[in-house]
Structure formats: C-alpha cells, structure tokens
Structure 1
C-alpha cells in the first residue's frame, strides 16, 4: 500500500492537473515549469558536480566522494523526448550514483519537436563512444534512464548491438517507455484516473513529435518492437498504476523469451516519475536501493567470472609445466 507521503503527492498532482484538462499548456510552458521546480532539487551531500561540453553537447559528471572512479553510469533523463534536462534530473542521478558507488555521466540530448528521431539516439551513442575513447571499459559502464530516457537507453543497446560496438555491463530502466504507440487498452485501463489519462494523452502526442517521419513501430523508436537477443542484463522497475506499466511488462517478457537476463520489479499504486521524489517518498528510496543492489550483483558476478578465469589459466599453466620433461644432466 502506498505511503502517506505518496498519497499527499498524488493529491497535489491531481489538483495541479485539473486546469490542464481545460487548457493544456504549451511544451515551452511545461519545460519552464519543470525548470522552476528543479530549483528545489539538490544534490545529496558528498556528491560533486562537474559541468563540461562533450563534443559540443552539454554534459555533467556527477561524482560521489567514495565512488569507484573506474565505473560509470551513463544516465539519460526522461520527459517524453520533449521535456526534462540536466537540471530536472540532477538530484535523482546524484543519489543513484551515490547509492550505486559509481560516477554518473548525464547528457543534455536533443529533444523533439525541434530535433526528432534519431537526434536523441545519436547523442546517446556519442556519449557512450566518448566514454570508450576516454578509456572506460565497456564492462565498467552501465546505462540508465527513466521514462523516455529508459526507452532511449534500451534503444541505445539495440543500436550498439547492430553496429557491433561493445556492450555495457547492464542497463536500468525506471518505468521505461518502450512502446510509443501507447495501445488503446492502456487508455481504457487508466480512464478512471484523471492524472493518468491526461498523462497518457500527452505522451501519445509527444511520441508522434519524437518519431516524426519514422513509424511509431520502428524498433529504435519503440524498443518493444525489436528483436531483443544478445542484450546485457536488464533491471526494469514499474508501478502497476502507471500509464507505461503494460508496456514494461510486455518488454520484460519478450526480452526473457529472447534469452536476456531480466529483473522486473513491480511496485504498487505509485504515480509515474515517483523516483524523482526520492527525498519525499520512502518508495522511491527503496526502489533506488534496489537498483544499487542490482548493480552490486553485476559487479559481484563479474568478479566471480574473473576469478574462475584466473583459476583456469593457472591450472592450464601448471598442467603445461607438469608435462614438460625434466632436463637430464
């Protein structure tokens, strides 16, 4: 059952969306509102910010004091491919990096409608390949994103596979948007919740803005439509009350059927973007702790595999040495 804090948040969001049903705001107005709201989002204590330009694109290193500098979380923010920024997601990226014990790279990828598909995907590819050029090893990199950013992270995996780039260690989708078609069945499911219905109608329009001339069913636009073989381990989190719930569950099932290691974590009754309210919601903190546990599991599995390989190499060397004839004097 959702916490009292979540109940208050939902009541606030429901009240705030009331006027939107009568007069939907422009994308510019929504962007401004989110930017103003981000003024109250702060990095956790002990996390440091380093802004820079990544091949001309605005980017940020978010570095927890005690993090392992070898390991990087490449984070792609959500916002329906039209909203969101480094500012709006800095706080959640900071706490996620701190909990996971790694540095995070966040990028200001280009957004629709000014820059439709494939601009955002190209920017994500640019950032990943930049990390490789900077000397970071693929097995030390994880991808992560929320909502549209989660879908973009999954599309990035597909693009890396098709271009035969080395794959990252894993990918994390926080309520990822995997199907820009947004089936009518989803609209029927959320019809009784005004806030969710408005959200569903809005992102349906945003999906068309992002896809532009591409079909909404194109695999790199809607990853659930892709062949999902040969992907690294995935962690997917979603709430059964979200607009995107059906699509996340469908994607997880399809990926598992393709042989991909998938961890699907389902929460009950939470609004979309609940992770961003981690300072206020115990459910968000719990979810982010689950992400951290997943990343520790990936690193532990890597260490175990490396130990087995070293043991096999030593055994092989010892076997070769034992088979050599002794010199006679």
Structure 2
C-alpha cells in the first residue's frame, strides 16, 4: 500500500502546474495555493508574529501534550518561492507530534534579496529566541529542501557568531550543494517529479547573485561541520537531491557530528508533506518528532 501511495503522490506532483524554475511571481502564487489547499488538523492554532524583525507564524497544536520545546522552522522553495503561511500544514504535523511551539520564518527571498539575506534572517530569528530567554537546549531547528540547507547554514552561522547551538536539527530533502554536483542529479532525473537540474541551476543563480556556490553558508556541504548538534537527515529515493543527503551524512559523521540518515525508497522530494494521506510520510514525521523530543529540553 505504501508504494502505491507514493506512486500516486509522484503522479500528482508530476501533473502539478508548479515549475520550480519558472517565472518567480507566478510560481510563488502556485506554490502557496498548493501548499495552503489542505485543511489544517483540528485544534491547530496560528498567529502572526516576528522574531528579531523577521516575520513569522507561530503554530501550536492544541490537542497535543505541551512541552517546553521550541521548533524553529525554515520553509522550502529554492530560496525564491514559498512562505511561512504555506508551510503551516507540514509544521502543524510536527507541532502535533512534538507538543512544541513551532515558529516558521518568512525569511527574505531571492532574487530580490540574494544570499546571504536568508541566512541573516534565520540567525536574527534564532538570536531573538535566545534574547527572549528561550534556552538553546530546548530549540530544535528544522527545514525542508532549501529550508533544510538554510537550517544547516543557520547552524554554521550560530557557530561563527559564538552563540550556543540548538538541541538538534532535522532536515528533509536538504539542498546542501548549490553546484548540483551530486550523482543523483543525473541518475534520478527521470524519477524526480518535482525538481530538475535546470530549475535548481536557475534558482541557485538567482540566490547566489554571483557568489561562489561553494561558499559554506550557501552550500553547507562544503563547510567544516565540526561542533554542530545532533542531526537527522531524511530523503526520498526518487529525488535528484538524494546525493546531497548521502554526502552530507557522510561528511557530518567524519566531523564527529552525531548524525542519523533515513532514506525512503520510492519517496519523492519532501514526501513528508503528505503525512495525512501517505503512511510512510506519517511514519517519517513520527521518527522526526521522536528525534526532536529525545534531544530538546537538555541543559544548554
């Protein structure tokens, strides 16, 4: 049943009007309409807020047993598309499973605001949590796709700034290498229903605006990962970014970062967004929530 569910989701994604390399204004509308079309789980409460001057949406699951944890979420969209509001459905699934207060961040998008604007906004949001008295050891950082890459860049920026690291980080299908040099960019090209090299090259150029794509805060795969907190990486077997996840896990292990890698055969890019209707996606989020709750709440 799970494989047939994944096949149906992949077919749905392939027929979607979303073109990640298409006209940015049009694709922003399509992305948010698609992401916001599903109803939220019962009991989910949201409110707009800000963190260090950066707009955000706070998400609480009223039917979950509350914890002291805080989830800082960075949405996907290849650094050019997507929004905090559009991520609320997926974020609410994590909030419901963890009991944490989740904050999804509306970082600035390219090409209007190229690198390092998104990293600066993510760091400002994290610093605002610390300034509010939220213990670093109660914070989990997470994100999907470009937001997964940005979550990793945030950990590096936190290290550079000398701030305490969060309890852990969890990333789904991270875009960690803006050079598109992973083997699966080619070997999974025919299988991936969402991303293409053309789309990734287009969005990388708009985000980088001439910066070196191997700059660590843009492509964390090229960074020194020593000193980062425990890391969970999830990726689908059907996606062109699979090799980003595989190489990232290997590099983290070599840097003595506690790392857990989970791959899901037949799963497309960010399949976790379909948790309400796809069994393996719900299982992936259950595993992510267990990982977060096993680390958040430690002394910082």
Q: What TM-score bracket applies, with the shorter chain setting the length?
A: over 0.9
- Encode CA deviations 1:5-61: one digit per residue, 9 max, x unaligned: 2222222222336x969xx74111111111222332332212211212334432111
Q: Size of the alignment, in residue pairs?
A: 299
Shift of 1:146: 0.3
Take 2:182 and 2:93, find their aligned partners in 1: how far apart are those partners?
Answer: 36
Q: 1:103 aligns with which of 101, 104, 110?
A: 101
Shift of 1:67: 4.5
Q: Does 1:215 align with 2:212?
A: yes
When residues 224 and 184 of structure 1 are mapped into structure 2, their CA distance, relative to the original with a 3 A threshold, is closer
Shift of 1:124: 0.3
Take 1:250 and 1:130, find their aligned partners in 2: how far apart are those partners?
Answer: 32
Take 2:52 and 2:137, find their aligned partners in 1: how far apart are those partners?
Answer: 23
Counterpart secondary structure, 1:297: helix
Give the TM-score normalised by the residue count of structure 2.
0.93
Take 1:268 and 1:153, find their aligned partners in 2: how far apart are those partners?
Answer: 24
Take 2:190 and 2:173, find their aligned partners in 1: how far apart are those partners?
Answer: 21
Give the TM-score normalised by the residue count of structure 1.
0.85
Shift of 1:145: 0.3
When residues 14 and 76 of structure 1 are mapped into structure 2, their CA distance, relative to the original with a 3 A threshold, is same
* Equivalent residue number for residue 257 of structure 1: 254
Task: Identify the structure with bigger relative contact order (alpha carbons < 8 Å, sequence gap 6+).
Answer: 2
- Encode CA deviations 1:98-151: one digit per residue, 9 max, x unaligned: 101211011100010000001000100010000011110000111000000011
Q: 1:156 aligns with which of 154, 179, 183?
A: 154
* Equivalent residue number for residue 327 of structure 1: none
* Equivalent residue number for residue 293 of structure 1: 290
Counterpart secondary structure, 1:61: strand
Take 1:275 and 1:166, find their aligned partners in 2: how far apart are those partners?
Answer: 29
Q: After TM superposition, where is structure 1 displaced by more than 4 Å over at least 4 residues in a row? A: none
Which ranges of structure 2 fall in alignment gaps of 5 or more residues?
A: none
Q: How does 1:74-93 map to 2 (within 5 A)?
A: 74-93=72-91
Take 1:179 and 1:217, find their aligned partners in 2: how far apart are those partners?
Answer: 7
Counterpart secondary structure, 2:227: coil
Q: How does 1:10-159 map to 2 (within 5 A)?
A: 10-16=10-16, 25-65=22-62, 66-68=64-66, 70-159=68-157
**Range with bigger deviation, 94-103 or 52-61:** 52-61
**Range with bigger deviation, 199-208 or 110-119:** 199-208
- Encode CA deviations 1:56-115: one digit per residue, 9 max, x unaligned: 432111112245353100000011101111222101101101101211011100010000
Counterpart secondary structure, 2:276: coil
Q: 2:203 aligns with which of 188, 206, 215?
A: 206
Asked if 1 retains the 8 angstrom alpha-carbon contact of 2:73 and 2:103, the reply is yes
* Equivalent residue number for residue 224 of structure 1: 221
* Equivalent residue number for residue 4 of structure 2: 4
When residues 134 and 81 of structure 1 are mapped into structure 2, their CA distance, relative to the original with a 3 A threshold, is same
Q: 1:190 aligns with which of 188, 191, 214?
A: 188
Q: 1:280 aligns with which of 273, 277, 281?
A: 277
Asked if 1 retains the 8 angstrom alpha-carbon contact of 2:119 and 2:154, the reply is yes
Instruction: Tell me which protein shows more helix as a share of its residues.
Output: 1
Task: Give RMSD over aligned pairs.
Answer: 2.2
Q: Does 1:236 align with 2:233?
A: yes
Take 1:87 and 1:204, find their aligned partners in 2: how far apart are those partners?
Answer: 26
- Encode CA deviations 1:260-306: one digit per residue, 9 max, x unaligned: 00011111011112111222211211100010111232248x38xx9
* Equivalent residue number for residue 318 of structure 1: none
Counterpart secondary structure, 1:150: helix
